[in-house]
Amino acid sequence: MADRSPVRSPLSRALWRMGLPLVWLAVVFVCAFGADVMPFPPPSDMDFAAAEQGPSLAHPLGADLDGRDVLSRLAHGARISLTVSLIAPLIGLVIGTVLGLLSAYYSGLVRTGILAVLDAMLAFPSLVFALALTVVLGPSVQNVTLALGIMSVPAFARIARANALPLMSREFVLAARTAGAGDAYIMFREILPNMVMSLLTYALTMMSIMIVAEGSLSFLGVGVPPPTPSWGSMIAEGRESLERVPHVSMIPAAAMFLTVLSLNLLGDSLRQLKSGKSGGLS
């Protein structure tokens, strides 16, 4: 008897794979931005009697070396990580898209100048570049976000330029030029809408990179200053006592891993949706 089990299309498989990542990200967002109204103790409150204890009724994820509630610090640290991972790629997306469009649309000095600046920025290792900016600007959430946003500009500019170049010779662009449309109209009303999905897909990947980068800066001690918790600083606080109290470092590390994995899976699913729609139109 023939197997009648339904065969999922690539689009349905992509939508199915988005389920678990979206659930995890929703939980992280709710905990991060609702931490102040949840029944968590303040993240800086110390309960020395519970120091280094594992999960319990009073502290569901245990307490750290100073007796601070790990769950509360994890939720408040998620707010820092998510804030940086949302705003920093947005800075890179806006500036990088404009630079990418300009370098694709214009030639001569404009293109040469923009590409030279982007190449100079790419010559520095990304984390070293962000580390140097953070040291110069000083450790704070705003400065870390700005440094990581500037760090992401060249990548977004190259993605925008690579997507804009094939569109320059498309019929709708030529028709707009023939109709007398201005350069700004063509770039932002004709070309940009056809690049949005690619840019948003890459932005999800960049969000995961920003979470790791912010965690790395905080781990090195040049990120968000204490006593504000962040996942990177929580991992750093427990690294010297990892064998004795592994939950202090392992829980924020697991949260960071699952969040980065979810963003990457979501980005892959969006890429499959985009390619499936493109295949359907071709």
Question: Among 96, 121, 127, 145, which Cα is nearest to 213's?
Answer: 127
Contacts of 270 (CB under 8 A, 6+ apart): 14, 197, 200, 201, 204
| Region 253-270 average pLDDT | 90
Helix or strand or coil: residue 63? strand
C-alpha dihedral (273, 278, 281, 282), degrees to nearest 10: -140
User: What average pLDDT does range 215-240 have in this prediction?
Assistant: 84
State the pLDDT at residue 273.
Answer: 76
Half-sphere exposure of 271 (CA within 13 A, CB side): 11
Top-confidence residue, 152 or 239: 152
Q: For 247, what's the count of Cα atoms within 13 Å in the CB-facing half-sphere?
A: 20
| Owner of token pair 């999960």 | 55
Identify the CA nearest to 94 among candidates 133, 167, 149. 149
Local confidence band at 281 (pLDDT 50, 70, 90 cut-offs): very low
pLDDT value at position 40?
81
What pTM was estimated for this model as a whole? 0.84
Which CATH number, 3.10.20.600, 1.10.260.40, 3.40.50.150, 1.10.3720.10, labels domain 18-32+63-277?
1.10.3720.10
Better-predicted residue by pLDDT, 278 or 64: 64
By the 8 A CB rule, do 32 and 78 touch? yes
- Return the bridge partners of 69, or none: 63
Q: What is the pLDDT of residues 63-121, one digit of tens each?
A: 888 888 888 999 999 999 999 999 999 999 999 999 999 999 998 899 999 999 999 98
Percent of the chain surpassing pLDDT 70: 91
Q: What is the mean pLDDT of the chain?
A: 85
Q: What is the pLDDT of residue 26?
A: 93
Q: Which of 281, 282, 280 is nearest to 9 (CA)?
A: 280
Q: Where are the domains of the chain?
A: 18-32+63-277
Determine the Cα–Cα distance for residues 275 and 267; give it in Å rounded to an integer: 12
